[in-house]
């Protein structure tokens, strides 16, 4: 398999079969987050294009379609970069829906293109959208997520997330990664989450090898207290157990996740 990998054991999604519609040799993204397990962003872009032809994904899905129901809880767009940069994202989601109608489809996105109405429409095809939100203000955003350029504004992303929430019928999850640079932002982050009204808030810290150190459990517990009373499920990486999985190709998992876990 070149474009499918896993399933991986996800503390957020269960047994997750990854779909990489970027699949560049090096990471392709509009961010260069301090905690990314893939390392520094080599291909920096905010422009959408077709990286992997739709028929290539369709071929690989069809090869394992009969086994997906028994091995997979969710099919997830992720991989070697920001999946919304794939201009055929919506088209591929339709293909997966036809091939695997009973399996939920999810996406992990850095939220940068939530400012694009067309992208928001494509994301409505997903059953679960896990959207990154790591900062309450532009200076913190630039320190933690290191966006491609100064034209990428946190306020516009938050506005896009709010607009998406209003018309989205699936499950919206906000993933908040906490590291040294934003560990004092819990109060402000909880207020933003309350305004967006997601179904779930995922409080994360980088436990896989990466350039940033994880916060200890007691620090994450302190942060989690700020989210009490939120009208959403709030889960922490330290509180969730990973499921057992049967992997298609360990090499492809390690390539995209940094380690075998």
> Which residues form the domain of 169?
4-257
Q: Residues 6 or more apart from 142 whose CB is under 8 A from it?
A: none
CB count within 10 Å of CB 62 equals 12
How many Å apart are CA 168 and CA 121, to the nearest integer? 9
Identify any residues that bridge with 153 across adjacent strands, giving them in sequence order: none
pLDDT of residue 250 exceeding 50: yes
> What is the average per-residue pLDDT within 77-100?
97
**H or E element that contains 255:** helix 250-257
CATH number for the domain spanning 141: value is 3.20.20.70
- Which stretch of 145-154, 221-230, 231-240 has the lowest confidence by average pLDDT? 231-240
- The count of structural domains within the chain is 1
- pTM for the complete prediction? 0.91
Contact 130, 8 (CB under 8 A): no
pLDDT of residue 259 exceeding 60: no
The string of pLDDT tens digits covering residues 163-180 is 999 999 999 999 999 999
> What is the average per-residue pLDDT within 55-76?
96
> Is the pLDDT higher at 219 or at 255?
219
pLDDT reported for residue 67: 93
pLDDT reported for residue 81: 95
* Mean of the per-residue pLDDT values of the chain: 93
The string of pLDDT tens digits covering residues 106-136 is 999 999 999 999 999 999 999 999 999 999 9
User: 245 pLDDT band (50/70/90 cuts)?
Assistant: low
pLDDT of residue 257 exceeding 90: no
pLDDT reported for residue 56: 98
> What is the average per-residue pLDDT within 214-218?
96
3-state helix, strand, coil in the chain (%, to 5): 40, 20, 45
How many Å apart are CA 36 and CA 91, to the nearest integer? 27
pLDDT reported for residue 210: 86
User: 260 pLDDT band (50/70/90 cuts)?
Assistant: very low
Q: Are β-strands 171-177 and 43-44 bridged in parallel, bridged antiparallel, or unpaired?
A: unpaired
168 token code pair: 């989205």
Residue % of the chain over a pLDDT of 90: 88
- Which stretch of 19-28, 118-127, 145-154, 201-210 has the lowest confidence by average pLDDT? 201-210
pLDDT of residue 101 exceeding 80: yes
How many Å apart are CA 193 and CA 158, to the nearest integer? 10
User: 246 pLDDT band (50/70/90 cuts)?
Assistant: low
How many Å apart are CA 176 and CA 160, to the nearest integer? 17
């Amino acid at each position: 398999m070149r474009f499918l990998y896993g399933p991986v054991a996800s503390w957020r999604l269960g047994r997750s079969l990854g779909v990489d519609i970027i699949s560049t040799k090096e990471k392709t993204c509009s961010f260069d987050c301090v905690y990314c397990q893939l390392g520094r962003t080599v291909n920096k872009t905010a422009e959408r294009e077709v990286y992997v032809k739709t028929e290539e994904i369709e071929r690989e899905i069809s090869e394992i379609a009969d086994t997906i129901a028994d091995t997979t809880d969710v099919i997830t767009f992720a991989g070697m970069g920001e999946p919304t940069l794939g201009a055929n994202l919506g088209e591929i989601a339709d293909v997966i829906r036809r091939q695997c109608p009973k399996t939920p489809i999810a996406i992990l996105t850095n939220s940068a293109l939530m400012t694009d109405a067309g992208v928001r429409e494509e994301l409505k095809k997903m059953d679960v959208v896990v959207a990154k939100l790591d900062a309450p203000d532009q200076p913190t955003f630039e320190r933690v997520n290191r966006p491609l350029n100064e034209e990428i504004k946190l306020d516009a992303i938050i506005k896009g997330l709010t607009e998406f929430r209003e018309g989205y019928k699936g499950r919206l999850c906000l993933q908040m990664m906490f590291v040294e640079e934003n560990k004092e932002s819990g109060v402000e982050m909880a207020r933003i989450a309350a305004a967006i009204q997601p179904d779930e808030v995922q409080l994360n810290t980088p436990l896989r090898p990466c350039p940033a150190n994880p916060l200890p459990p007691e620090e994450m517990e302190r942060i989690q207290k700020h989210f009490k009373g939120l009208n959403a499920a709030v889960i922490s990486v330290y509180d969730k157990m990973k499921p057992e999985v049967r992997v298609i190709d360990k090499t492809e998992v390690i390539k995209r996740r940094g380690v075998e876990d």
